[in-house]
A = this chain, B = another copy of it.
């Protein structure tokens, strides 16, 4: 077997993450070589806007700077491709066409095309950077928990949402004011839809649940609610109950090995480590039947932390490129797909829920009666806002009960964990 020690890398994409990846590989090359014996050399950088980059001392060190994707696809000298383009089209073209091992941070692409990507490729894909930045959650689930039945995986996977919720909670602020502040400070996009509606969180959950349950999860099977219609009253009510609201992504098995996979605002007890995760940080709890609860916490985004995950993946792919298929760790962490896995509708899963809705026409009693066969833990009316804590009930039943009294205009439902 060849004793290859130097690997040529192409970086596709030269935005925030691309720049930091190039910087990390160049600046920390000696640390990496000391640890791994492997040397990564960036040969090519691809970017549609490469002409516009000025005064970049790292870019100056790269042999090929190109606007033509073929300069990566057709170069047999390149060993590993790092895809940090963002967006779907060019990234998908690159991943489908190249015959090199690819590191990607593209959670949207993975969540939507995992099955297709894996089926059509002979070489390896690594994607630690697609979920929770520098936190090594993918490797932990794929390699460290191989003997565990992962019963439950849940986490805070979107820094923007967590920044907004933390700020609302700590400073008693309204959603809109915090969102504007987050946009001004660059924590939230001008169009924050993907973040605040839970789509980004669900993309990451799609990847995590595929690994946890040994099945390629169809993104459409995920129930998604974001934080757009949360109000300060919800935060205050939660805090009166001694709970903290977080946007939680969760994948859980029931006793019959059916899966529920969902993103929903969740009220957490202060004994739960995730209730302590503030501002832009991410954290994931994995519950294994052997390992118990393990929590992974860290920077969920940002070029620098993401580059750490990307580079370690590149080293893994460098090693793997010389290892036979049978010995390589499988792309999603399983060799045999769990075809029996049934993803059930979260709207029919019984849980404890917090529910708030507006009503001008009815009194608390009418709603209490509508919930007559549901275990009501708490019910309050404040300025036309009706707030309930309901036990052992599902979302479909809640909505049906409220609609039996009145058409719902504005409803906020959160899980209580």
The residues of A with any CB-CB pair to B shorter than 8 Å are: 1, 3, 5, 24-25, 28, 31-37, 128, 133-136, 139-140, 142-149, 214, 273, 276, 283, 288-299, 302, 304-305, 307-309, 311-312, 315-316, 319, 322-324, 326-327, 329-330, 333-336, 338
Alpha-carbon separation in the docked complex, A288 to B311 (Å): 13
Q: Nearest Cβ distance between residue A135 and chain B, in whole angstroms? A: 6
Alpha-carbon separation in the docked complex, A3 to B296 (Å): 34
Which residues of chain B are within 8 angstroms of A36 by Cβ–Cβ distance?
146, 329-330, 335
A335 with B37, Cβ < 8 A, contacts A143-B316, A149-B31, A315-B146 known: yes
Q: Which of B147, B333, B338 contacts A25 (CB 8 A)?
A: B147
The reply to whether B311 and A147 form a contact with Cβ atoms under 8 Å apart is: yes
The reply to whether B304 and A292 form a contact with Cβ atoms under 8 Å apart is: yes
Alpha-carbon separation in the docked complex, A120 to B120 (Å): 45
Q: Nearest Cβ distance between residue A206 and chain B, in whole angstroms? A: 19
Which residues of chain B are within 8 angstroms of A307 by Cβ–Cβ distance?
147, 290
Alpha-carbon separation in the docked complex, A311 to B143 (Å): 10
Which 4 A/B pairs are nearest by Cβ-Cβ distance?
A136-B144, A134-B291, A294-B298, A147-B311
CB closest chain-B residue, reference A293: B298
Which residues of chain B are within 8 angstroms of A134 by Cβ–Cβ distance?
288, 290-292, 294
Alpha-carbon separation in the docked complex, A296 to B322 (Å): 31
The reply to whether B276 and A1 form a contact with Cβ atoms under 8 Å apart is: no
A32 with B146, Cβ < 8 A, contacts A134-B290, A327-B323 known: yes
The reply to whether A145 and B298 form a contact with Cβ atoms under 8 Å apart is: no
Which residues of chain B are within 8 angstroms of A148 by Cβ–Cβ distance?
28, 31, 308
